[in-house]
Chain A
Amino acid sequence: MITCDLLVIGGGPAGISAAVAAGKAGLKVLLLEERERLGGQLTKQTHRFFGSVAERAGTRGIAIIKDLETVVAQLENVEISLSTTALGIYEDGVSTALKSGKMIKIKPKAIVVATGAFEKFLPFENNDLPGVYGAGAVQTLMNIYGVLPARRILMIGSGNIGLIVSYQLVQAGAEVVGVIEASPKIGGYLVHASKIRRLGIPIYPSCTIKKAFGQDRVVGAELVRLDEKWKEIPGSQFTVDCDAICLAVGLNPLIDLLGQSGCQFKYIPELGGQVPIRDESMRTNVPHLYIAGDLSSIEEATAALLEGELAGLSAAKQIRPGQSLEARMEEVKTHLRALRSGPVGEKIRSGLSKLTGEALPTPSPRTNAIDELSRTGIASPANLAGVLPDEKRKKTRAYAVIECYQQIPCDPCVHNCPFGAIKPFSDINDLPIVDFDLCTGCGQCIGRCPGLAIFTVDETRDGDRAKITLPYEFLPKPVREETVDLLDRSGKCVGQGVVKSVLNTPKQDKTTIVTVEIHRNLVQDVRQIRVVQKS
């Protein structure tokens, strides 16, 4: 029988964060991870994270996990057991796990369960054909094992996972034939949607899949439009050719282990379905049992990191009273509230109020004219007009165009402007506002924006030439003086330009900053370049 102060089940962001917090508080911690390495979903998140710079926003998931691994490895009182599957949490406080084919027994003083979530499936005809994948599975195949599962993919679901995986599929060299969404609006962050739109990927709102075509593998799909009541519109069927259908229709908390422990659950769709009942300090109804991460509610990794820390601190406080951990616990709770305070946190807030009965503060409604954008992923002229300087200023110096129109909890741009030209936020959900008197158009912010939504424009020269600087995350990288295709917000080629500068130092961390000379009439249309494949 192995004894320890705290057993952490699950080595994803929430579990590691819990182990680190408890380890720093002096607890003897045992962290179990089913896979052969730590990191959970972070190990395949090649994109930059949103959120607060304080919680590593702007950093790629795969980089965050490297940091966390280093931190946890330095804590001598935290033992990590990889390739170890938790099996049970029993009524006598003993937990069991499978390690090297044997059942091991662990008697901890407290447990943090951070088992994460699993992908939902979708009922449609032929959904058992080879070629129907979960989006998470596709991401695992591509980003962990280096396997591209298909060439032409149809993505079902426009939440962040659907949008991000679509982008990553294109990065890996596949074609995404479209993203369909049953709701009339795009589910994920609109900056993600804009990223894939300018690659030419169509998004179909109010649309669902009827069936997959194929005998022994997927060769296509029949789609149908939905009316405002989510009913199929007769005769609106259309078909697409594809060799894979990727389902990104949400996640369910992985509660099985907790079910056995006697933990109570509540069905709260906003949080992902059956979720464990817990208090604000992540404590469940079972004594000494805490939870964190997607298991408690389906959210972003930033929330998982914070919840993990909170759970670790709560356990430490219970096991070793007398330590002054309350201040940090309150700080973490405040961060979590801030993270969930904006419009995109509304669903989580309403779910949490069902769970705890506690009403979270709702921010005052702000004008946020993004209706068309949220259907199409393409900013309207009205959206754009709100973020541009006046004509006189355009002529005097280069300037940044921040195409961030939706209030999401994210602030790296503010912290990465060397001139303080992006106004400080009072709330992490604030929209960035550029002070054009301070902005020099230096472009430092471009590569730090997780949404790749910042561009700089230089139209100071006379004549018909102007320059645009934009982020580029594809291979091959363009080279100086190369002629590239210019794509607008819908991915349409609107002309050609000449690359004038390529910035690709380690600091850019693979987000290459490319400056292209283009016709000045195109500066507010071009948002993507395409390297012309040499035959």
Chain B
Amino acid sequence: MKNKASVVIVGGGITGTSTAFSLAKRGVKDIVLIEREGLASGATGRCGAGIRQQWGTFQNCLLARESMKVFENFQEVLGTDIDIELKQKGYLLLAYSEKEMDQFRRNVEVQHQLDIPSRLVSCREAKEIVPFLNTEKMLGGAFCPTDGHANPFLATKAYAKAAERLGVEILMKTEVKAITVVNDRIKGVHTSQGFIETDKVVNAAGGWSAQIGEMAGLHLPVYSERHEILVTEPVNPIMDPMVMSFSYNIYCQQTPHGSFIMGYGPQNEPRGYNVNATWQFLETMARKAAWLLPPLKNMRIVRQWAGLYNMSPDRQPIVCESEIVKGFFMGIGFSGHGFMIAPAVGTLLADLITGSPLTWDVVLDLGRYDRHETIAEPSVV
């Protein structure tokens, strides 16, 4: 293990590994990535594996589109032969009120500014896309054919391998115990394997990012919340897109493997780190899915699990350097959509760390909360 590093990245999920790769690709040497468990063992490996570009703000659409470009050219960009099982069969968003329909209308306009090929769909068109969709009470929806799915484990592994090829040292089963800050500057990281001297730390710890912040003396405005998910047995392909509704509160997709992955946003979930699964989720999820997508009522569930959403005040990522502790960078608070924008976030963090101008004109800093410039993204589950 190195005892000195130019950058120490905390977290071996998609954000940490993508940042490691982006930095290394720009020629930064002596990068160490520290992971407490294994690659993608936190939120990345527990997520719904969807990637969508149908957002309501220009900046989110931009990050999603740029990330999709990377997913589309993954092997080339990373120089890897790992296939991340990209499936671009779209996201079908369902509207159950005029208000929701209006929102989709506005969203599509924003998306079209970035050439995202989304469109509004009627119930009939929605049924053409998913023939067994129950359109009862539905007014219509939105569809983007290039949205889809990628395998979070393979994507993380590919980033990690590519980063290692470029000289990044990845330490698994290694825990950050403390962060040394002297005169408001990062001086080093104490790990379960020893001390690493560094002046730059990247907090990519997902569900545990608030704790990493505390180690540097910072109260980061993020907290963690359990979200549950399940997967069914694999069956023949019957459903192309991710089906999602913000008001009915559900997302459900069939993976290339044939299994269905689905979840919904919990109500009144206490803040914390509990990732135990519940039987209540199974019952509610099954009821919701069977109503909306009737053939699913005959499928068997093979596994359920839970992961942590790392929530920020405006449900949007925080990607910046701390203004209080110099050298403390963060890519946190993804609020449930970290995987799909991780390629762009890695680029932005590499910009920040190398002192380069941001590749895209986005505002994701912590200071936005003090400036009351929060991001009003209307389309989140």
Q: A94 — which chain B residues lie within 8 A by C-beta?
A: 279
Output the nearest chain A residue to B278 by Cβ-Cβ distance.
A90
Interface residue ranges, A against B (CB under 8 Å): 88, 90-92, 94, 96, 103, 105, 260, 262
CB-based contact B282/A103 at 8 Å = yes
Counting CB contacts under 8 A, is B276 at the interface?
Answer: yes
CB-based contact B282/A260 at 8 Å = no
Q: A96 — which chain B residues lie within 8 A by C-beta?
A: 279, 282
CB-based contact A260/B279 at 8 Å = no
A96 to B230, CA, bound (A): 16
A91 to B306, CA, bound (A): 13
* Chain A min CB distance to B32 (Å): 28
Q: B283 — which chain A residues lie within 8 A by C-beta?
A: 103
Instruction: Give 1 or 0 for each of B261-280: 1 = CB within 8 Å of chain A CB.
Output: 00000000000001011110
Number of interface residues of B (CB under 8 A): 8
Q: A262 — which chain B residues lie within 8 A by C-beta?
A: 276
A407 to B343, CA, bound (A): 65
* Chain A min CB distance to B280 (Å): 9
A260 to B279, CA, bound (A): 12
* Chain B min CB distance to A381 (Å): 56
A262 to B274, CA, bound (A): 11
Output the nearest chain B residue to A92 by Cβ-Cβ distance.
B278
**Other A-B pairs, 18, CB within 8 Å; known A94-B279, A103-B279, A260-B276:** A88-B277, A88-B279, A88-B304, A90-B276, A90-B277, A90-B278, A90-B279, A91-B274, A91-B276, A91-B278, A92-B278, A96-B279, A96-B282, A103-B282, A103-B283, A105-B279, A260-B277, A262-B276
Q: A92 — which chain B residues lie within 8 A by C-beta?
A: 278
Q: A260 — which chain B residues lie within 8 A by C-beta?
A: 276-277
Output the nearest chain B residue to A98 by Cβ-Cβ distance.
B300
A260 to B275, CA, bound (A): 10
A457 to B276, CA, bound (A): 66
Interface residue ranges, B against A (CB under 8 Å): 274, 276-279, 282-283, 304
* Chain B min CB distance to A93 (Å): 11
Can you sample 7 A-B contacts with CB below 8 Å? Answer: A88-B277, A90-B277, A91-B276, A91-B278, A92-B278, A260-B277, A262-B276
* Chain A min CB distance to B330 (Å): 31
* Chain B min CB distance to A103 (Å): 7
Q: A103 — which chain B residues lie within 8 A by C-beta?
A: 279, 282-283
Output the nearest chain B residue to A88 by Cβ-Cβ distance.
B279
Output the nearest chain B residue to A103 by Cβ-Cβ distance.
B282
Most chain B CB atoms below 10 A, which of A90, A92, A96, A262: A90
Q: A90 — which chain B residues lie within 8 A by C-beta?
A: 276-279
Q: B282 — which chain A residues lie within 8 A by C-beta?
A: 96, 103
A105 to B282, CA, bound (A): 12
Most chain A CB atoms below 10 A, which of B274, B278, B279, B282: B279
A94 to B279, CA, bound (A): 8
* Chain B min CB distance to A505 (Å): 51
The 3 closest A-B pairs by CB, nearest first: A91-B276, A96-B279, A90-B279
* Chain A min CB distance to B254 (Å): 22
Output the nearest chain B residue to A95 by Cβ-Cβ distance.
B279
Output the nearest chain A residue to B304 by Cβ-Cβ distance.
A88
* Chain A min CB distance to B155 (Å): 26
Output the nearest chain B residue to A260 by Cβ-Cβ distance.
B277
Output the nearest chain A residue to B305 by Cβ-Cβ distance.
A260
* Chain B min CB distance to A180 (Å): 36
* Chain A min CB distance to B43 (Å): 19
A105 to B280, CA, bound (A): 10
* Chain A min CB distance to B373 (Å): 40
* Chain B min CB distance to A45 (Å): 31
A285 to B276, CA, bound (A): 16
A103 to B278, CA, bound (A): 13
A262 to B278, CA, bound (A): 13
A92 to B279, CA, bound (A): 9
A92 to B276, CA, bound (A): 10
Q: B277 — which chain A residues lie within 8 A by C-beta?
A: 88, 90, 260
Output the nearest chain B residue to A96 by Cβ-Cβ distance.
B279
A94 to B276, CA, bound (A): 13
* Chain A min CB distance to B134 (Å): 22
* Chain A min CB distance to B334 (Å): 26
* Chain B min CB distance to A383 (Å): 51
A103 to B279, CA, bound (A): 10
Q: A88 — which chain B residues lie within 8 A by C-beta?
A: 277, 279, 304
Q: B279 — which chain A residues lie within 8 A by C-beta?
A: 88, 90, 94, 96, 103, 105
* Chain A min CB distance to B102 (Å): 40
* Chain A min CB distance to B276 (Å): 5
A91 to B277, CA, bound (A): 8
* Chain B min CB distance to A87 (Å): 8
Q: B304 — which chain A residues lie within 8 A by C-beta?
A: 88
A277 to B378, CA, bound (A): 48
A293 to B82, CA, bound (A): 43
Q: A91 — which chain B residues lie within 8 A by C-beta?
A: 274, 276, 278
Q: B276 — which chain A residues lie within 8 A by C-beta?
A: 90-91, 260, 262
* Chain B min CB distance to A237 (Å): 35
* Chain B min CB distance to A374 (Å): 40
A22 to B123, CA, bound (A): 58
A262 to B275, CA, bound (A): 11
* Chain B min CB distance to A2 (Å): 13
A94 to B278, CA, bound (A): 9
Output the nearest chain B residue to A94 by Cβ-Cβ distance.
B279
* Chain B min CB distance to A259 (Å): 11
* Chain B min CB distance to A72 (Å): 28
Q: B274 — which chain A residues lie within 8 A by C-beta?
A: 91
Q: B278 — which chain A residues lie within 8 A by C-beta?
A: 90-92
Output the nearest chain B residue to A105 by Cβ-Cβ distance.
B279
* Chain A min CB distance to B39 (Å): 20
* Chain A min CB distance to B193 (Å): 21
A103 to B283, CA, bound (A): 9
A90 to B228, CA, bound (A): 14
* Chain B min CB distance to A226 (Å): 33
A219 to B282, CA, bound (A): 47
* Chain A min CB distance to B231 (Å): 14
* Chain B min CB distance to A88 (Å): 6
* Chain A min CB distance to B349 (Å): 35
A209 to B283, CA, bound (A): 48
Output the nearest chain A residue to B286 by Cβ-Cβ distance.
A103
* Chain A min CB distance to B305 (Å): 9
* Chain A min CB distance to B289 (Å): 14
A90 to B274, CA, bound (A): 12
A91 to B278, CA, bound (A): 8
* Chain B min CB distance to A364 (Å): 44
A463 to B64, CA, bound (A): 100
A96 to B274, CA, bound (A): 20
A103 to B230, CA, bound (A): 15
A332 to B351, CA, bound (A): 68
A25 to B169, CA, bound (A): 60
Output the nearest chain B residue to A261 by Cβ-Cβ distance.
B276
* Chain B min CB distance to A411 (Å): 47
A94 to B277, CA, bound (A): 12
A482 to B177, CA, bound (A): 81
* Chain A min CB distance to B269 (Å): 14
* Chain A min CB distance to B48 (Å): 21
* Chain B min CB distance to A287 (Å): 15
Output the nearest chain B residue to A91 by Cβ-Cβ distance.
B276
Output the nearest chain B residue to A101 by Cβ-Cβ distance.
B300
* Chain B min CB distance to A116 (Å): 21
A430 to B82, CA, bound (A): 61
* Chain A min CB distance to B306 (Å): 11
* Chain A min CB distance to B233 (Å): 13
A90 to B280, CA, bound (A): 10
A105 to B278, CA, bound (A): 12
A103 to B274, CA, bound (A): 24
* Chain A min CB distance to B275 (Å): 11
* Chain B min CB distance to A261 (Å): 9
